[in-house]
Structure 1
Amino acid sequence: MLPVDLPDTVRDALLAPLVDHHCHGVRRDDLARAQFELLISGGGSPAPPGTTHFDTPFGASLRRWCAPLLDLEPHTPPAVYLARRAELGAAEVNRRLLAGAGVVAFLVDTAPSDTASPNTAPSNNVPSNNVPSNTAPSDAADEPALLSAAEMGRHGGAAADELVRIEQIERDVAASAQLAVDYLDDLGEELTVRAARAVGLKTVMARLCGLDLEPTRPSRGSVIAAANRRLDEPGEPPTDPILLRHLLWCAIDVARERGLPLQFHSGFGGAGAGRADPAGLSELIKTLQPIGVPVILLHCYPYHRQAAHLAGLYPNVYVDVGLAVPHTAGASAVVVDELLTLAPFHKQLFSSGCQGVAEAAYLGALSYRRALGTALAARLGAGEWSATDAARVAHMIGAGNARRIYRL
């Protein structure tokens, strides 16, 4: 599995069970090819006519590394892979791949897949024109059936805990509130209730309004005015910057009271160009530092250098390169090496960012281990690190830091 020769202690540390500190549920149902391709695309859009998302670094890596877990030869053709996947059934595929990831704990964002933003991908049920399918997509009005956090744990033979996405709480409250005052009261109460059984809170504001946020708490009057507008369209994702700032500060209050980390999606994964640069959070992070709320920057790529700078500058900031690792596949060692060069080791975390298909969880863990192994081997070969230090850092990033931050 590991691409280089390493001392036994370092190899054992890399192969030790991981804490996947940010992932999503995977689909429990059998998927048509069009559905599967959307879920492995990274951006969530169909491939152009006559092409396929299997012709990507992630797609090639999937055929190389996931195929053997389904009893196929490496590099098996996409049609053969998908036929075998259908033959085994979703439950067995999920069990093999989630267990194969070697994860000891999954921290799962349990929000439905449609709660992201106006510029997220079409529904998983949108068919692709470029690939045939023998399975009819499910009704687009049906919510895709994702495994719960507990089910992710059972399939993977691991512990599992919930991450609460604050935008989903907002949508639930907006759908039930009759008056703006009710909306304000219910939002804080519902966040408190949901946080009681969670290990962290998460926001996708990068997709909704960008990360260059005004760091101050908005006035009550401005929030009430924005809430009145919001209740006219409660089914849509929230986009009003005033309302989103209010939501964020409600989450900050809850995180402070309960000692929870607050995750920010940044970089890779569907946000508009430039809006997901974590450097935009600098002023907010300064404000949060004396409050003591840990800020977790997810994915970050291609802004991982900026994220690493923030992690080095502020004691409450942590970082991962999540989705970037499986989606850069064979070149992921470059990304991991840069983060290892720039960010304090005690500020780095592992996540797969898995969403929709269990292949993403397996490849996230595999690619991370291979990438970190390559980066550590270079430092060992140059005499910069001892084997003891390399093993310690591998344990730290793979699981130890997450256990400390999330109090697992």
Structure 2
Amino acid sequence: MGPIQEALDALPLVDHHCHGAVTADLSAGDFASLLTEGGAWPGVSPFDSPVGVAVRRHCAPLLDLPRHAPAADYLARRSALGWREVNRRFLSAARTEVFCVDTGYAPHSLTSPDELAHAAGATAYEVVRLEALAEAVVAQGVEPDEYARVVGAAAGEAVRKPGVVAVKSVAAYRTGFDLNPARPTDAEVTEAARRWLARGGRLADPVLVRHLLWTAVDLGLPLQLHTGFGDDDIRLHHADPALLTDWLHLTRGTVPVLLLHCWPYQRQAAYLAAVFEQVYLDVGLALHHTGPARSRAVLEEALEITPFRKLLHSSDAYGVAEFHHLGALCFRQGLAALLQDRVDADELSLPDALRIATWTGRDNARRLYGLPTPDSARD
């Protein structure tokens, strides 16, 4: 093991975007449906996929099983231990000291940020999902001409709660990024709200999605944006972050914009981070789905031109605590391998490589979100 891998293994990470872990024992079918973005299909086991193989290889030992344990043995052992012990083992194994938790998506019963932090022996902060907030406002009843004011007030109240460090939009899912970049007028928002209230359903009006993006700018907190890879609700070609270019021009000098996940658009995201001061990125979600075997390749493409103070770590783990652990493992191994090769080729000094590892694994997120910084982490 080289010095960079040793340093990353010892580094307590900041997972700047994730979700809670389930608070119930899972059936084989429920676990399978959470293991992949595509769900479970008849005759096709999600264990027979890169992420499934990674779980059997790297998670089985934490359940006291041999590496590459058969899926049936894995599921049986997971069930025998129970969800509390499973969550504790994987969350503590991630060696993550801070989780920033998106609480706006919970089709399953999940740990709260505090519960997640307790299981991991860590600290947790909250990320407010703007679409969920707007949908909650509408569910309580609002007139079209009051929509913008009420949503803005609700968002302002939400971000003033203790422990909230960022907001998030899932515009990529609802409309994609090929939007008019300009701030919508009050009249446009009122008319769009009227259409939505008459139609019902979730927020998917392009004008109202734009309104939320600009609301985020007004709130002044870092804005996380899902980009790229997701479940089949997304239209991947509309989730390319490069489509945000005109909006990023208009929002220069406002709030930090965090491009989440990005795959297969990590190079486009890297370009945006290289040319816009406010843009940062991660490749979370992609890492545990590609597994340790390919996480280095994804990170290498993300780091081709990204300034080193602009790459962050996230897992985007949802539901199964295996993903909080795997996300951290893949990040540590992939980043250590590529940095070590650059040192061996004399393209980086060892001190530079160690500094980059610490920046991306912890300090970039601490600086960006204004998190308390231990004396040992100060520049």
Matched AA of 2:157: V
Q: Distance in 2 between matches of 1:151 and 1:376?
A: 34
Partner SS for 1:393: helix
Is 2:230 aligned against 1:266?
Answer: no
Is the Cα–Cα contact under 8 Å of residues 10 and 390 in structure 1 kept in the other structure?
no
Q: Look up the SS of the partner of 2:166 in the other structure.
A: strand
Report the TM-score, using the length of structure 2 for normalisation: 0.94
Q: What is the CA-CA distance between 1:341 and the residue it aligns to?
A: 2.0
In 2, Cα distance between equivalents of 1:184 and 1:283:
23
Amino acid in structure 2 at the alignment position of 1:269: G
Alignment match, 1:371? 334
Distance in 2, matches of 1:85 and 1:346, equals: 39
In 2, distance between residues paired with 1:306 and 1:323? Answer: 17
1:273-313, Cα deviation, whole Å (9 max, x unpaired): 301100001111111113x2101000001000000000000
Provide the rounded CA distance (Å) in 2 between the counterparts of 1:205 and 1:241.
9
Which residue of the partner structure matches residue 6 of structure 1?
2
1:112-191 matches, within 5 Å, as 112-113=105-106, 143-191=107-155
Select which of 40, 45, 48 maps to 1:46.
40
Q: Give the deviation of 1:161 after TM superposition.
A: 0.2
Query: CA contact under 8 A between 1:14 and 1:391: conserved in structure 2?
Result: no
For the residues of structure 1 that align with 2:142 and 2:274, how far apart are their CA atoms? 45
Deviation at 1:213, TM superposition (A): 2.1
2: CA distance, partners of 1:246 / 1:377? 45
Q: Partners of 1:337 and 1:228 in 2: how far apart?
A: 46
Q: 2:166 is matched with which residue?
A: 200
Gaps of 5+ in 2: 372-379
Provide the rounded CA distance (Å) in 2 between the counterparts of 1:13 and 1:69: 20
> 3-state DSSP class of the match of 2:110?
coil
**1:22-101 aligned within 5 A:** 22-43=17-38, 45-47=39-41, 49-101=42-94
Deviates most, 30-39 or 88-97: 30-39
Shift of 1:233: 4.4
Task: Judge conservation of contact 2:312–2:360 (CA < 8 Å) in 1.
Answer: yes
The answer to whether the 8 Å contact 2:117/2:123 transfers is: yes
Question: Is the 2:128–2:166 Cα contact (8 Å) retained in structure 1?
Answer: yes
- Of all paired residues, the percent bearing the same amino acid is 45
Contact 2:20–2:101 under 8 Å retained in 1: yes
**Aligned partners of 1:361, 1:145: CA distance in 2, in Å?**
17
Distance 1:182 1:34 in 2: 44
Specify the code of the residue in structure 1 equivalent to 2:264.
P
Which amino acid letter does the alignment assign opposite residue 158 of structure 1?
Answer: A
Q: Which moved more, 1:236-245 or 1:186-195?
A: 236-245
Question: Residues 128-158 of structure 1, C-alpha deviation per residue, up to 9 Å, x if partnerless?
Answer: xxxxxxxxxxxxxxx5211111111111110
Match 1:244 to one of 200, 206, 209: 209
AA at the equivalent of 1:181: D
Structure 1 CA distance, aligned partners of 2:55 and 2:225?
27
Give 1:340's aligned residue: 303
Q: Distance in 2 between matches of 1:233 and 1:145?
A: 29
The answer to whether the aligner puts 1:331 opposite 2:294 as a matched pair is yes
Partners in 2 of 1:384 and 1:222 — Cα distance? 53
C-alpha contact 2:8 2:332 (8 A) present in aligned 1? no
Q: Find the counterpart in structure 2 of residue 103 from structure 1.
A: 96
How big is each residue's C-alpha offset from its partner over 1:27-74, in whole Å with a ceiling of 9 and x where there is no partner?
11111111111111123x323x21111111110000011111111111
1:278 aligns with 2:278: no
SS in 2 for 1:352: coil
Structure 2 counterpart of 1:350, one-letter code: H
1:124 alignment partner in structure 2: none
Secondary structure, aligned partner of 2:238: coil
Looking at structure 2, the residues matched to 297 and 190 of structure 1 have their Cα atoms a distance apart, in angstroms, of 24
Task: Quote the Cα distance in structure 2 between the aligned partners of 1:151 and 1:252.
Answer: 30
Residue in structure 2 matched with residue 402 of structure 1 by the alignment: 365
The 8 Å contact of residues 177 and 183 in structure 1, kept in 2 or not, is answered as no
Q: For residues 141-185 of structure 1, what are the alpha-carbon distances to aligned partners after superposition, in whole Å with 9 as ceiling and x for unaligned? A: xx5211111111111110000000000001101101241133222
Q: 1:162, 1:29 → 2: CA distance? A: 22
**One of 349, 355, 360 as aligned partner of 2:323:** 360
Name the SS for the 1:107 alignment partner. strand
- Are residues 1:16 and 2:11 paired? yes
Instruction: Indicate which of 329, 344, 355 corresponds to 1:381.
Output: 344
Deviations 1:103-147 (A, max 9, x none): 00000000133xxxxxxxxxxxxxxxxxxxxxxxxxxxxx52111
- Provide the aligned length of Structure 1 versus Structure 2: 366
Find the aligned partners of 1:299 and 1:109 in 2 and give their Cα distance: 14
The amino acid that maps onto 1:232 is A
RMSD: 1.2
**Superposition TM-score, scaled by structure 1 size:** 0.87
Shift of 1:10: 5.5
Letter in 1 for 2:40: P
SS in 2 for 1:346: helix
* Structure 1 CA distance for aligned equivalents of residues 177 and 302 of structure 2: 21
- Kindly state the Cα deviation for residue 220 of structure 1 after the two structures are TM-superposed: 1.3
Letter in 1 for 2:2: L
Structure 1 residue 14 displacement after superposition: 4.3
Q: CA deviation at 1:13?
A: 3.7
Describe the superposition over 1:171-226 as per-residue Cα deviations: whole angstroms up to 9, x where unpaired. Answer: 10110124113322210011001111310010010011001221111121121111
Whether contact under 8 Å (2:9, 2:332) holds in the other structure is: yes
Residue identity in the other structure for 1:75? H
Structure 1: how far apart are the matches of 2:158 and 2:262?
27
SS in 1 for 2:313: coil
Structure ranking higher in helix proportion = 2
